[in-house]
A and B are shown apart, each in its own frame.
Chain A
Amino acid sequence: MNRSLAFLSVTKSFGKTLALDHFSVEVAEGELVSLLGPSGCGKSTALRVAAGFENPDSGDVMVGESSVLGSPANERGMGLVFQNYSLFPHLNVRENLEFGLRVRRSSAAVRRARVTELLELVRLSGLDDRLPHQLSGGQQQRVALARALAVEPRVLLLDEPLSALDATVRVEVRDEIRRIQRGSGIATLFVTHDQDEALAISDRVCVMRSGRVEQVGTPRAVYRYPATPFVARFVGRVNDLAVIVRGVGIVALRGSTSGFSVPQSGPSSGDARLLLRPEDVRVVGLSDDALARGRVEAVHFGGATTSVDVLLTPSNQTVRSTDATRNVRCEVGEEVGVVFDTERALLTREP
């Protein structure tokens, strides 16, 4: 696939803080890539550099085969949707959508046709004359998306467009964005701190930390095969257990003597952390070949999935399982056994 947007070793600092540190990522044509990371990891800075609102200290930003660093923001042809409602408050929906077209001196007929088409696309036909403050938050963000698409940008940049919305509307607008992005085939960069959002919407996720890329991959790959302990902890839920390394590929829970095998990478002696997804922890009966035993501390009934917290004895750590075997009674206070599937677990010294 042709790359549409590419960051090539972009570095940007504000005073003494390094916001982007040799940051490189590519977005192919038609692809949606999210930048995911905690606040202050540089994801918004990356987007602002691409949009032309910040100039990088070094590195390059390419659209197609040419660098865009020489052009000012208003000549880059990128569509932007912001976190804060950014519709022009003094213009109605139609005028907001026409803004970019007027700048490009499109004729009245072209503008009218385009606005009708866009309103249909975001399913807001008939709201042409509303002012932004007469729309709900979800509607405002859909108009903002339509406004960004009006000028047929080569790249779409979305800066936490869902953060200001409440939970149900958020999912609705999220799916809408994905549907429209798929339909239009525009390369899209989606900035978010919400991992559920990133996993649900993206073709690929780029996990960032302190201005650097930790891992880029499909949502499944990032979740199932995290490259670093940071990614494992940041994306999805993880059991973070204190263990003692007994030998290459053998660990025991701290305070316990029975060892079990883990993947061979990582430290080969001393204290370490074992990172394990909740679905890789199984609750079994006491009689089975349990790796550890403990008492059920809490049961979180979540409809489709139920998760169980087990306080392990004697190591005194809580582990969460989303794979409670159905024939085991899981009630608070019950004594149970626990089995770990350590195939995809990560062993690390990083606290």
Chain B
Amino acid sequence: MMSGRKLWWSVLVVVTVFYAIPMVAMTRFAFQRVPVIKLSWSNVFDKWTVAPIGETFADPNFRSSALLSIGLSVATAVLTVLLLVPTMALAHLRSPRVRRWIEVSAVLPFVVPAIALVVGFAGAFRGTAPLFIRNPYGMVPLLVITALPFTHRTIENGLSSIDLRTLVDASRSLGAGWNRTIWTVVAPNIRGSIATATFLAITVVLGEFTIASLLLKNTLPLYLAYAQGQNPQGAFAVGLVLTAISASLIGITNGIGRRSRR
């Protein structure tokens, strides 16, 4: 029988190896100027280069899709916070029933496949508001919904961890209206949760493929899928950079969370 500590370590090692091997393989494939077939232990340190990133950045298609994805990320994160924080705070204060209802609908994106969402969306708006479908930013509401299972949970945890009612009552008795109360009293006290929700929304948008693909919008994931045929090394390189960005976002979020709990 293994001791708890030993078991813990062996699980950690197995998991690390499981994730590390493909990452290392990807890194070598992307950044070493060595034909794939010749990659082996003997040339681990040979011919490293960051050129594939430069080549990708030079491609105007990459630049437009990257800009679009960044724009969508920011728009999605902002809309998520603007919608969720006041709605959920009010539900907390006023109606436990609405709160449960929001909770259930927030996990629906796990259940309803993205393809169903898009087909319904396109069907509903093609006839009535075609601009909504033509403009790439028309995707933002769909992306907000897709990120909802993660973002809702985070904000919910934040609101449950503070004495919301007392803070709101205190603020209102001092003369502040709802808007001021939500944004200058509630929001700063759940800033850790808001930061996490923002970053989760960004990560979801940066990885979203189905919706963009079905609506024919040229986002970063679509570009990467396309570029794998043209410039496979460049596509992998950009993929790795994106992974590194996501990982550091999670790190930053943890840091903020820890600081706001002090």
Contact = CB atoms under 8 A, between A and B. Distances in A.
B170 A90 contact: no
Given A74-B175, A99-B176, A103-B174, A51 B169 contact: yes
A80 interface: yes
Nearest to B178: A74
A313 interface: no
Say what secondary structure dominates the interface of chain B.
Answer: helix
Interface in A39-64: 51-53
Nearest to A131: B262
Interface in A50-86: 51-53, 72-80, 82, 84, 86
Contacts of B185: 88
A75 B169 contact: no
B172 A82 contact: no
Given A74-B177, A103-B180, A88 B170 contact: yes
Interface residues of A, number: 29
Given A82-B166, A84-B163, A103-B180, A90 B173 contact: no
A80 B189 contact: no
B166 A89 contact: no
B188 interface: yes
B111 to A, nearest CB: 34
A111 interface: no
Interface in B95-128: none
Contact of A86 (B169, B180, B191): B169
Contact of A99 (B163, B171, B177): B171
A323 to B, nearest CB: 45
Given A80-B169, A84-B163, A90 B189 contact: yes
A73 B172 contact: yes
B167 interface: yes
Given A84-B163, A86-B169, A88-B170, A151 B189 contact: no
A148 interface: yes
Contacts of B176: 74, 99, 103
B212 to A, nearest CB: 38
Contacts of A77: 175
Given A51-B169, A80-B170, A82-B166, A90 B188 contact: yes
A74 B170 contact: no
A310 B118 CA distance: 83
Contacts of A72: 172
Interface residues of B, number: 18
A100 interface: yes
A111 B185 CA distance: 19
A148 B189 CA distance: 20
B92 to A, nearest CB: 14
A16 interface: no
Nearest to A79: B173
Given A86-B166, A88-B167, A78 B173 contact: yes
Contact of A53 (B162, B169, B189, B191): B169
Nearest to B180: A103
Contacts of B172: 52-53, 72-74
A183 B169 CA distance: 26
A74 to B, nearest CB: 5
Given A90-B189, A103-B180, A82 B175 contact: no
A88 B169 contact: no
B175 A75 contact: yes
Contacts of A87: 170
A323 B174 CA distance: 49
Closest 7 CB pairs of A and B: A100-B174, A80-B173, A86-B170, A103-B175, A73-B172, A90-B188, A86-B166
17 contacts: A51-B173, A52-B172, A53-B169, A53-B172, A73-B169, A73-B172, A74-B172, A74-B175, A74-B176, A77-B175, A82-B166, A88-B171, A88-B188, A90-B191, A99-B176, A100-B174, A103-B175
Given A79-B173, A86-B163, A150-B174, 11 more contacts: A73-B173, A75-B175, A82-B170, A84-B163, A86-B170, A89-B162, A90-B189, A100-B175, A103-B175, A103-B176, A148-B174
Interface of A: 51-53, 72-80, 82, 84, 86-90, 99-100, 103-104, 144, 147-148, 150-151, 157
